[in-house]
Amino acid sequence: MMAPVTDASKGLVLIVEDERPIADLVRLYLSREGFGVQVEHDGVAGLAATRRLRPVACILDIALPGMDGTEICRRMRADGDWTPVIFLTARDDEVDRILGLELGGDDYVTKPFSPRELVTRVKALLRRAAGPPETDRVRQLGPLALDLGRRTVTLGALPLTLTATEFDLLAHLAGRPGRVFTREELLAAVWGYASHAGTRTVDVHVAQVRAKLGAAAGLIRTVRGVGYTADA
């Protein structure tokens, strides 16, 4: 195990990946961008590292010795750790499983991937997790109150637990009630990139937000053939 770089200005990114060439490549690209990088090669050590090092973001391979990446993420969320997570998947059919499991992951990249693309995703995630500059604003949507500074959502008096991505998606829709956003627009605004291949990501995250809104799920309306809108 290599020691983490602790003086990196942008914070520490944890990579849990058992294929060393991939881990080394990602480490190189992230280091160049000013991130500290810690690499773990098995799932158990990876989960321990999330607790010990408090990284700013985690990149988790799915199939790992010891414990799958999905299980690491599930345990992080169960512990109340909402650090942004990007999954690395080896196969396209894993994507459906990841998205369907409601593990609380924020994004995924399918192998083989461009390290530059992965770095872009990490930076986009961190920009979002840092929150918008308008720190004192509360955005109201029907019975929902979104505190953009604290990044919390309450439904009436009930606090809701959303992932960083779910929060950003809801906040974006709530920012302009009645405006219909296409999936590509939402991908660009919330995930920081746009591609047709990623549009089902939007659908799955909308479904997860709705599930958490419970009785208020109808506030996010599907506009068939177009995208989504928030009803004021």
Note the residues at the interface with Ca ion (CB under 5 A).
Answer: 18, 61, 63
* Nearer CB in complex with Ca ion: 41/172: 41
| Pairwise CA distance, residues 196 & 154, whole Å | 32
Question: Taking the complex as a whole, how short is the minimal distance between the CB of residue 92 and Ca ion, in angstroms?
Answer: 16
Question: Taking the complex as a whole, how short is the minimal distance between the CB of residue 205 and Ca ion, in angstroms?
Answer: 25
Type and span of the H or E element at 94: helix 92-100
* Nearer CB in complex with Ca ion: 40/61: 61
Type and span of the H or E element at 39: strand 36-40
Residue pair 161/212 in contact by the 8 Å Cβ criterion: yes
Q: Which residue is nearest to Ca ion (CB)?
A: 63
Question: Taking the complex as a whole, how short is the minimal distance between the CB of residue 147 and Ca ion, in angstroms?
Answer: 38
Question: Taking the complex as a whole, how short is the minimal distance between the CB of residue 105 and Ca ion, in angstroms?
Answer: 16
Residues in Cβ contact with 145 at an 8 Å cutoff, skipping those fewer than 6 apart:
138, 139, 153, 154
Q: For tokens 């604290």, what's the residue?
A: 150
* Nearer CB in complex with Ca ion: 61/106: 61
